[in-house]
Chains A and B, each alone.
Chain A
Amino acid sequence: MSVSEITLGHPPAEARGAEFRRGAAASTPVLLGIVPYALVLGAQAAQKGLSVVEVPLMTGLNFAGGSEFAAIQLWTSPPHVLLIAAITLLVNSRHFLMGAALAPFLRHLPKRKAFPALFLMCDESWALGLADAKRRAAGGLRPAFSLAYYAGTALPFYFAWVIFTTCGAALGPVLGNVERYGFAMAFPAVFLVLLRGMWKGFAAARPWLVSLAVAAATYLVVPGAWYVAAGALSGLVSAWLLAGEK
């Protein structure tokens, strides 16, 4: 990190407001895109027996959609806490990489600001914040990472996620038994779109196919939710083995 990054103080409040609005504007298109995800998640959570208080508790404290979809899919009454925690860890393990990529840009921030900022790190705020920091760094702006811009991308997202998952939970029971009308297909639909978003070519997706095959076979042979662990672990092992080819 350069010296200029340390010597320049914090921007005045007006500039921070403008930065926040710049971030909010950048995140608006993505924001509209998550509303259906949030409604579907809320409705499915209600179907699994979560209340309109428990749903915002989950989405507000956890704030990581992929893990919430996975957890709700595996939710039983009462839930298997360790299974839910382990799946959450697996789905969110990408955060380690994301945080590591962002870390060099956060060095100018005191920990009391960095830790709350990281709480709001989701795929979207991370991608927008990192891209902006790289652009600003290339343009010679210091500090490259604009905390107000990042907050502008993340906070509207956070509130939209909590509010619309709660709406989904409140509206879900109105539909009655959603299974009957084919609503169960909403889950694979959501997951397949999420996977499409992660798609980086067939070679990178080979571990997914291993996971799919092992999980499906395990599901047919072994009772219970073991198929998730078996599928996920076999995929990770194959990713490790395939990476050794190069």
Chain B
Amino acid sequence: MIEPWTVLAILAMAVVTYLTRIGGYVVLRNRTLSPRATAVMEAAPGCVLISVIAPDFVSKNPADLAALAITLLAATRLSMLPTVVIGVASAGVLRWVMG
């Protein structure tokens, strides 16, 4: 049920996240960030998220690439749940159709 390494990783996440939450309050409340530092901080979450899913963009499976294109289109106009449903359904159907 509980693996030591898993718990350690979870605790590491929890500590790091809490430090980011109090860090701005503790360190930055009496000063302002430079515009450059602000630009970097604002870009950071998006850079990480897109990097994590980058392998999907160079998949060797044409069905998955086509499904990703459909999902990308869905994500630009729909909310969470329909986008996930469309993404999963298109991947499932296209894999079946395209082998």
Q: Which residues of A contact B (CB under 8 A)?
A: 33, 36-37, 40, 50-54, 57-58, 61-64, 66-68, 70-71, 73-74, 77-82, 84-85, 87-104, 106-107, 114-115, 118-119, 121, 181-196, 198, 200, 204-205, 207-208, 210-212, 214-216, 219-220, 227-232, 235-236, 239-240, 242-244, 246
**CB within 8 Å of A: which B54-99 residues:** 54-58, 64, 67-68, 71-72, 74-76, 78-81, 83-84, 86-95
Task: Name the distance in Å between B96's Cβ and chain A's nearest Cβ.
Answer: 9
Task: Please give 9 more A-B residue pairs, beta carbons under 8 A apart, in addition to A58-B13, A98-B24.
Answer: A92-B16, A95-B21, A99-B22, A102-B24, A182-B95, A187-B53, A216-B58, A220-B58, A236-B44
- Give the interface residue-count category, chain B: 35 or more
Task: Give the nearest-CB partner of B12 in chain A.
Answer: A85
Write 11 A-B pairs (CB below 8 A) sorted by A numbering.
Answer: A57-B7, A61-B14, A93-B20, A95-B17, A100-B29, A121-B21, A185-B88, A205-B46, A216-B54, A220-B58, A243-B35
Which secondary structure characterizes the binding site on chain A?
helix
Tell whether A193 pairs with B47 under 8 Å between CB atoms, given A92-B16, A204-B42.
no
Contacts A85-B16, A182-B95, A239-B39 given; does A196 touch B75 at CB 8 Å: yes
* Interface contact B48-A192, CB-CB below 8 Å: no
Determine whether the beta carbon of B22 is less than 8 Å from that of A115.
yes
**Contact residues in B for A89 (Cβ distance below 8 Å):** 16, 20
A100 touches B25 (CB 8 A): yes
Q: Judge whether A92 and B17 touch: CB under 8 Å.
A: yes
Cross-interface CB contact of A246 among B8, B23, B35, B40, cutoff 8 Å: B35
With A33-B79, A53-B2, A185-B68: A239-B45 Cβ-Cβ less than 8 Å: no
CA of A184 to CA of B90, assembled, Å: 11
Kindly report which residue of chain B lies nearest to residue A104, judged by CB atoms. B29
Determine if A239 and B12 form an interchain contact, defined as CB atoms under 8 angstroms apart.
no
Check if A78 sits within 8 Å of B5, measured CB to CB: yes
Instruction: Tell me the complex Cα distance, A78–B4, Å.
Output: 9
B35 CB to nearest chain A CB (Å): 6
Q: Are B40 and A243 in contact (CB under 8 A)?
A: yes
Task: Find out whether the CB atom of B44 lies under 8 angstroms from the CB atom of A94.
Answer: yes
Asked if residues B25 and A102 are in contact (CB atoms below 8 Å), the reply is yes
